[in-house]
Amino acid sequence: MAAANPGIATRRRRPVARAVEGQELALIIVLAALWLILSISTDTFLTSSNLSNLLYSVAPIAIIGIGMTAVIVTGGIDVSVGSGAAVVMVVVAKAIRDSGLPLAPALALGLAVGLVLGVINGVLVAYGGIHPIIVTFGTLNLYRFLALRLFENKQVTGVPDTFSVLGGGKSGETLGVPNAWWLALVLAAVMWSYMRYWATGRHWYALGNDAAAARLAGIRVKSRTIAAYALTGLFVGLAGIVLIGSGGLVQQNAGTGLELRVIAAVVIGGTSILGGRGSVLGTLLGALLVGTVTSAITLLGWRSELTELFIGVFILVAVGVDLVRERRRRAR
């Protein structure tokens, strides 16, 4: 019966045993080395404008990644977040343009739309009995279709700067750092504490370790699964608002490829694709690595498709390390 105790199972895997795990420390070293190399090889990488642009571009990835960490820790995945962000962006952009919706109601609208999309995913995963990647691949296409219908085959132009406080310009910065990045740090700190110290947060680790044992231990598996996807949807709504930023226009391809960068950030950050292990701190570092690689390729004048190559290599290495670590654990 001891194996059915989620607390014991969690301690055995030690998913939250230390403030900084080995892979997180390795990422810090890699990031420091990359930043040093780029500061030497380019004249613009360490400029305030470039670093501000880097952090602003990374913020939506990090924000969604915070929720995605919980999903993947449970043993699930959500590949629909890019399409979900597109739905949020077109709905909110049209609302503030056509109805003059002020900041607070527009923010609430974006969060509500994202939450609904996340709950749909969670309910389908929890009660459908189908693997999460199949469910969310289906909703990826459904949400993209919905977004295109809402776009009405044209981009949304003339979007007001309602969210300039979260935009990429000077009005969206505090102490020279984008407010969107400050927001990501605050959310990460809250989520890190929740998953580390709260019983309901640790339940997600128990689900990833052994859902059947978690159920026997009294954990409401379905409701906790829905909660993880709902939270991710909520963060998708927030990221969509950040992506609208200072207004202007929202294009029909909004959110395309976002899901890959988010999943890359989470997996590179050390969250096990098999579930049961991971942390928000690693996700933040993974998002920074993805953003740094993208910025480096642009500054060095290399071909843009190399970004996907390097990110793909990082994902394969991270997953490979995770699988080797899992085999060693099982062999003990």
Beta-carbon contacts of residue 23 (< 8 Å; ≥ 6 apart):
269, 270, 282, 318, 321
Q: What is the pLDDT of residue 24?
A: 84
Are 206 and 216 in contact by the 8 Å Cβ rule? The answer is no
Q: Nearest 5 degrees, angle CA 150-CA 61-CA 24?
A: 160
CB of 135 closer than 8 Å to CB of 117: no
Instruction: Tell me what the mean pLDDT of segment 95-110 comes to.
Output: 94
Q: What is the pTM of this model?
A: 0.90
pLDDT exceeds cutoff 60 at 11: no
Q: Residue length, the chain?
A: 332
The pLDDT, as a whole number, for residue 233 is 98
pLDDT of res. 329? 72
Q: Which pLDDT band, with edges at 50, 70 and 90, does 168 fall under?
A: confident
Instruction: Give ∠ CA 196-200-206 in degrees, rounded to 5.
Output: 80
Structural domains in the chain, CATH included, are: 21-29+41-331 (1.10.3470)
- Rounded mean pLDDT, 76-101: 95
- What pLDDT score does 13 carry? 44
CB 259 within 8 A of CB 87: no
What is the C-alpha separation between 314 and 324, in angstroms, rounded?
15
